[in-house]
Structure 1
Amino acid sequence: MGGIGKTTLVKNLSNELCFSSPNSFDIVIWVQVSRSLDLSTIQSQIAKRIHLKVEAGDRTHIIASKILRRLKLRKKILLILDDVWEMIDLDAVGVPSKDPCCKILLTTRSLDVCRHMDVHVSFQLNQLSEEDAWNLFVHSAGPVLDTNGIESPARKIVASCNGLPLAIKALGNSMRDRPQIELWRNAHLRWRCSSPLFKNIEKEIFGTLATSYHFLPSKILKQCFLFCSLYPASFSIDVAELIQCWVSDGLINESQSLEEAHNYGVALVEHLKDSCLLDQDSEGTVKMHDIFRDLAIVLSQSQELLYGFHTQSGLPFHQMPNESSQRVSFIRCRIKRLPEFPVYSQLTVLFLQGNPIQKIPKKFFYNLVSLRVLNLSETRITSLPRSILCLCELRSLFLRNCSIQKLPSLKSLCKLLVLDLSSTRIKALPKGFGSLRSLRELNLSCTPFLNKIVAGSISGLSSLETLYMSSSSYNWNLKTGKNQGATFDELLSLEHLSVLQIRLDSAKCLESASFWLKKLTRFDIQIRLWSHDSNHHVAKHNKKRLVLRGVDIRLENLQDLLYNTSSLDVLTCVGMSRRHLLSLSSLVSLTISHCNDITCLINNEISSWEVDYC
């Protein structure tokens, strides 16, 4: 049964073995499987844990052989497979399942999975006892249970959970700091009234968990929760992108600045996490537990005419949404072809990322006139049809990690707020690009073929607040020729720009930009010549970071830039002198690597610095 505590149990076991009993196994490997079985995802998690580098083009059997060779170097291995929904071919993954040195522990809701995987020992995790269930609820709900009259309805609520830990914890958190006895009595009634709506074996779970949803204080929060069901189960949802979608779909007021909208979006995410409706994943990402996602799908279907959600994320594509659908997701549904002329006049959100789509039909966008969010990331498209110009309401366009090389004119997308072209093969920005005066965020990072930006394309983006161009090949310093492209002066003219990530061949264009640099709330500036082999990691926590790579610092005027820098990386450089160090008045972090002519950093005048030398 879902939510019984299987994951918590094996997580505790993993932590115990890793920290309290480190000699029990050479390595403990944790793999989150989830409902949508994907061998490559399992392999990537194992490879990451054993520090195995996997090339992007490697096929499954090649990765399997690499994993097998690496694992056979270990004497005692424990592989934990959490949330298994169907049989996994461990040999195809690269796991030496027959080797006595390799132990495998899996969690599943189905005994059939245990049978098909030839599990030697299986046991069923039972519900909590009445006492343990009450203790967990007390821990979750807190001191409010000391209020007169609340314990009686609270015990009824706990009893209704049937010892299910996930439900107990979710309900306890939702009732925390709620001293009104009427709310407690009503909570029990809501669960009892909602349970008949669910006709499968987990109807009691959904009935209980739905109480946390019903107690969300606003329609916006409820829609934000339902919106997360558009992503596959256990999918790592990028919080920043999620908030962009909420803004673009009208759940967050778009008249705010990017920072204000992001801060409000983070507050919404934290509220959903506090209500146990979302889980923290890795840094900057959240995920929705599959049970809560099932709940959200059931709720959205029951309110389809109100919110219009339709999702088949992670499942084989087989069912089209109805014409009244407003938010549609087909993430990773193995779609190869799109319909020629879809008619969804009310559609506002369309997620198609992660599908092997190679071409978009010419008339595909003609009748999607209400579309506000379009995500075609990680597809195989190389171009967009001109019918995209019909999307006059579009706010966010995600084309990340596509093979796209050329864009049509986008000047009719006058309401576009976010454009993500990162990790594409784009060679030039289209003519009329400067007409996108509402655009606030532009992502051109990791664009190794970008060599043409028509003059005026950037200065025309009068609302631009964030520009990402790390690891882009575009040369901002070039000012030659009659038809010269956009120069760095266009960036200096952007009044609202506050976040910048960029690579420059030299710092010459920054020599008189001291006031402009001070206005930026965050920057990551790389001074280095472009190379296809170069790889730059953008640090998330450094507010104002400067990276000097292969620079003769004696030939650059860096005083203003150094003065505004809080994090400095100096890599394979020459010419760093005392006067440069004295310019670093805002410095918090300093990294120096392969700078052989630097012999002294600290003297009596700057003895308070803490410096890591590598």
Structure 2
Amino acid sequence: MDLVKLCLSPLCSCMQSPVVRQDMSYVFSTKEKLDDVKNAMEALMAKKKDIKRDLDSPQNKGKLPNNQLQLWLDKVGEKDDKVEQLLDEYRKGNCGAGSCSLNCFSRYKISSDAIKLEKEINQLKAEQLEISLVEIPPPKLVPTSHRIFGKGISSKLDTVYTCLADETVGMVGIWGMGGVGKTTLLRKIYQSLLDDANMRFDHVLFIEASQNIQLERLREEIAKKLKLASSAGEDIFNALKLKNFVLLLDNIWEQVDLPGLGILDPYGGNSSTKQYKHKVIFTTRSEDVCAQMGAKKRIKMECLKPNEAWDLFKDNVNLDVIESDKMINGIAKEVVKKCGGLPLALQVIGKAMSNKKTVQEWEFILSSLNNSSTGVVQGVEESLLPILKFSYDSLPINMNIKECFLSASMLGWTSKDYLVECWMGLGLITDFVNLQQAYGKAGHIFNILEESCLLCFYEDSVVHLHDVINEMAMWIALDCGMNKNKWIMKRYDGLAEIPTNDAENWRYANRVIIGGMELLPTLSHQCSNLLCLMIVNSSYLRNIPEGFFQQMPNLIYLDLSGTAIKELPKDIKYLINLQYLNISSTRISSLSKELVYLNKLQYLICRNLTGLGKVEDGLISRLQKLKILDLYPYGWVELKDLNILKKHLKAIGMRVVSQEVLQQLSCLPTTKLFIENLDSLISLSFETLSCKNHGFLQELEITSCPQLEELVMNGSETRLNNLIVYDVKKLQNIIWTDLSPPKIFHMLTSLYICECNLVSFAWVLHLPCLFYLNIEDCPETETLFYIEEREIQQVLERPNTFPALHSLFLFNLPKLMSMSNAALDFPQLSWFSIHECLHLKKLPFKHGINNSERINIYCEGGWWESLEWDDATIPPHLSPSHYWDGSDAGSFS
């Protein structure tokens, strides 16, 4: 009992404090404080309704409130939403009647927020407002044609109509890049529904949303369409619940709270309203928004085909001009090509050219477009690029996503891997523990950019931008066209050297990307702003002038790949801020000693240097900040240097020329390995080829290992893209240990097997991403894809056995009698080359062949004529491209 008094005594004293008593009132008087804020909000809403009544009077029709008044109305809407959220939080968090709630902290917070909110509401109510209106400005002259061009768009209109008639589809999401025609399609749907009484919708509501639009503003628009006195969600709900309606929401940028708008569940989840049709169709630039909205049907808008693009362009330009002059007609078609099938670009540029009547004017515009300078076209920068820029502006601000997008624009068509490497070299992807993590971050960025229709992917490995999106990106990079020399991108095909005036502009540049020249300029000025220099597609460039690098002291990114230089100049040592250096596919045969001065170098890329060989001892290990080292496939470093590098290296690609280095690979984060001439190697285990925790093996080549008999496939979570096994004649088995082929090779895109004695390649059937398959000079192979009896049914039931295979090459398989003991699918196969497989008489295609295109067969004419067909539906899908007899076979390679 004394203990209880001891504990309660200070508590009772504390309760006497005015501050504590006030805080306790927050806990025990929550309901009263919420009532106060609710009453204050009702008074404020009454004032708002009075103002709105004045604004909506007949004499004010066609006018809008001034900016100050509109801002006040928006703030009132925000406060109303906050009050509702607070009341809802109290209802959900209150665990019992009266004041005896167990969650004291929650009550305290709600009371505190209510007091603060009531104060803000009273301040809004006390504001003295001037009821001032302005005339509605005329709409911007952005061309919008509601005509439907192209079979693709017409088919999408049919798809929407099917969804409207389907009781199981309540919500449809239409998505695609800015300017691709989403709004045009939605307006066509709107007009069609208004004209079609057979659809029997009581209300067809077209609402234009936009970026950062408030929920209250959307409610007001819906209420106006329904001619309701109130825009409250409950009133909208009551007006629509027993009606058939379609809500068309145009241009949403994030998930819209439909219940908050008063819109019933479009799937008809309420049993009392299932007899009514409640449909929602929206447009967005992001497929992710479609997912967030729960759209059961998603329709992606694509760019127009060439003939459709030409029709749309003609609809917006002065048709008499382009049809009356053959030269103008030809130039106009080139202009259309530059628009890349993007409807908005075709419309805006077509309108801009509608008053141009001379060949000179048309030639000038084409030249300007070719030089990426749309600013000379009246109206383009003002109407096209800012509209497309909304997609860029809406990108997340984290992870350097905007900078990654702009950097992608400077590379054009490129591989995903090279772009990721570029992002890392420019410092846009940093702080990764290992390469897997870096690629994971890049994958997230790719997804965001693809969903926003800012990046496209060809065959999942090549990245590119739509021409107009690339134009927009470069416009943004140049400070919206205000700083023309910030990024310099030039090709000099046909010129021996760079003009002096161009080189002068380097002093202002942040990035310079050039190509196609034989000589670099001798710089007489400092390029202090230059951070990135890329010299690409310049196979005739043999030398770098003396002192060239001294003029760019702040350079962090240097790419000289693909040039014909034989050595790096000694003044490379002045690039003390350099973080990325790429000298791949040059004629360099040894690394310069001056590299040791590059104390900040993190990425050294030396791929495909045929004469490189061993790197000088101690050179690489002195680069203590090096993260990525790629010497694949010809270069290597000794074991002692590797032991130093492994402390900070996050990825390495190199040639393996000794058993000792091979044994150390399990401690190294290897990404690319070329294993050659290891005479004593009998068995090779996959999991020993890279560090288990940090490895990320992407490419593996095993060549001329005469004693190698088996590959043991173990380990998992790899990203192997390319596998080459060449001249390993004793290799007969690939052993799978506790794992199936997809777990090891789930990302494999290219497989080349030559001069091996593997009996079966059935495991290849399980590779979901395999794009290229070459099997050559395997004298013992009789059946390529022999499927065990117990697995045949499983293979037959699988939708596609080779879902991604594009190219198949079979050369010199003298014992090959059958490709498979079961019929197979090749849905993507485009090219099938087969040579010196004379005993093969049947092809394993399934009935009818599940392939939308004809498959090109490259083969001997005599072999083709000898083929046997059990199914007459197969030959029409095959197109033998070349015929030759045995005497010509030697020319095939």
TM-score, structure 1 as length reference: 0.56
Among 721, 726, 729, the residue aligned to 1:549: 726
Following superposition, the deviation at residue 513 of structure 1 comes to 6.4
Among 251, 263, 288, the residue aligned to 2:465: 288
Amino acid at match of 1:436: L
Following superposition, the deviation at residue 508 of structure 1 comes to 3.5
Q: Which has the higher contact order (CA 8 A, sep 6+)?
A: 1
Deviations 1:20-44 (A, max 9, x none): xxxxxxxxxxxxxxxxxxxxxxxxx
Partner in structure 1 of residue 477 of structure 2: 300
Query: Residues 241 and 127 (structure 1 numbering): CA distance in 2 closer, same or farther, change over 3 Å?
Result: closer
- Tell whether 2:580 aligns with 1:415: no
Distance 2:764 2:377 in 1: 60
Following superposition, the deviation at residue 322 of structure 1 comes to 5.0
Partner in structure 2 of residue 208 of structure 1: 387
Partner in structure 1 of residue 609 of structure 2: 424
Partner in structure 2 of residue 99 of structure 1: none
- Tell whether 2:217 aligns with 1:217: no
Partner in structure 2 of residue 362 of structure 1: 546
Partner in structure 2 of residue 389 of structure 1: 573
Contact conserved, 2:523 with 2:551, CA < 8 A, in 1? Answer: no
Query: Residues 422 and 150 (structure 1 numbering): CA distance in 2 closer, same or farther, change over 3 Å?
Result: farther
- Tell whether 2:563 aligns with 1:379: yes
Partner in structure 2 of residue 503 of structure 1: 675
Q: Secondary structure at the match of 1:411?
A: helix
1:164-563 paired onto structure 2 within 5 Å = 172-173=285-286, 200-201=377-378, 202-203=380-381, 204-218=383-397, 220-231=400-411, 235-302=412-479, 309-314=486-491, 318=499, 319-320=502-503, 321-330=505-514, 332=515, 334=517, 336-340=519-523, 343-355=526-538, 356-409=540-593, 410-428=595-613, 429-431=615-617, 432-445=619-632, 447=634, 453=637, 456-462=640-646, 463-469=648-654, 476-477=657-658, 488-489=660-661, 492=664, 495-506=667-678, 508-509=680-681, 516-517=688-689, 519=692, 520-522=695-697, 524-529=699-704, 543=720, 547-553=724-730
Query: Residues 198 and 421 (structure 1 numbering): CA distance in 2 closer, same or farther, change over 3 Å?
Result: same
Following superposition, the deviation at residue 375 of structure 1 comes to 0.9
Following superposition, the deviation at residue 374 of structure 1 comes to 0.8
Query: Residues 254 and 363 (structure 1 numbering): CA distance in 2 closer, same or farther, change over 3 Å?
Result: farther
Following superposition, the deviation at residue 205 of structure 1 comes to 0.6
Contact conserved, 2:726 with 2:754, CA < 8 A, in 1? Answer: yes
Query: Residues 4 and 419 (structure 1 numbering): CA distance in 2 closer, same or farther, change over 3 Å?
Result: farther
Deviations 1:149-190 (A, max 9, x none): 5689999998xxxxxxxxxx99744995799xxxxxxxxxxx
Contact conserved, 1:300 with 1:307, CA < 8 A, in 2? Answer: no
Contact conserved, 1:345 with 1:370, CA < 8 A, in 2? Answer: yes
Deviations 1:231-258 (A, max 9, x none): 3xxx312222222222222222244422
TM-score, structure 2 as length reference: 0.40
Following superposition, the deviation at residue 402 of structure 1 comes to 1.9
Query: Residues 9 and 228 (structure 1 numbering): CA distance in 2 closer, same or farther, change over 3 Å?
Result: farther
Deviations 1:183-208 (A, max 9, x none): xxxxxxxxxxxxxx966321211121
Query: Residues 311 and 239 (structure 1 numbering): CA distance in 2 closer, same or farther, change over 3 Å?
Result: farther
Following superposition, the deviation at residue 502 of structure 1 comes to 1.7
Distance 2:406 2:549 in 1: 25
Following superposition, the deviation at residue 291 of structure 1 comes to 2.0
Contact conserved, 1:377 with 1:399, CA < 8 A, in 2? Answer: yes
Matched residue count: 438
Q: Secondary structure at the match of 1:549?
A: strand
Contact conserved, 1:341 with 1:366, CA < 8 A, in 2? Answer: no
Following superposition, the deviation at residue 444 of structure 1 comes to 3.2
Amino acid at match of 2:676: L
The worse-fitting range, judged by mean Cα deviation, of 316-325 and 204-213 is 316-325
Following superposition, the deviation at residue 492 of structure 1 comes to 1.2
Contact conserved, 2:696 with 2:719, CA < 8 A, in 1? Answer: no
Following superposition, the deviation at residue 360 of structure 1 comes to 0.8
Computing the radius of gyration over CA atoms, which structure comes out larger, 1 or 2? 2
Following superposition, the deviation at residue 386 of structure 1 comes to 1.6
Following superposition, the deviation at residue 381 of structure 1 comes to 1.3
Partner in structure 1 of residue 254 of structure 2: none
Contact conserved, 1:253 with 1:261, CA < 8 A, in 2? Answer: yes
Deviations 1:290-314 (A, max 9, x none): 2222222222222799999412244
Amino acid at match of 1:279: C
Amino acid at match of 1:236: W
Following superposition, the deviation at residue 577 of structure 1 comes to 8.9
Partner in structure 1 of residue 347 of structure 2: none
Distance 1:557 1:604 in 2: 16
Structure 2 stretches of 5 or more lacking a match? 1-141, 156-178, 191-205, 226-246, 252-281, 294-373, 707-717, 746-750, 768-772, 796-817, 821-836, 838-893
Partner in structure 2 of residue 69 of structure 1: none
Amino acid at match of 1:338: P
Q: Secondary structure at the match of 2:487?
A: strand
Amino acid at match of 1:433: I
Counting aligned pairs with the same residue, the percent is 18
Report the aligned-residue RMSD. 5.5
Q: Secondary structure at the match of 2:448?
A: helix
Distance 1:10 1:425 in 2: 51
Q: Secondary structure at the match of 2:440?
A: helix
The worse-fitting range, judged by mean Cα deviation, of 422-431 and 515-524 is 515-524
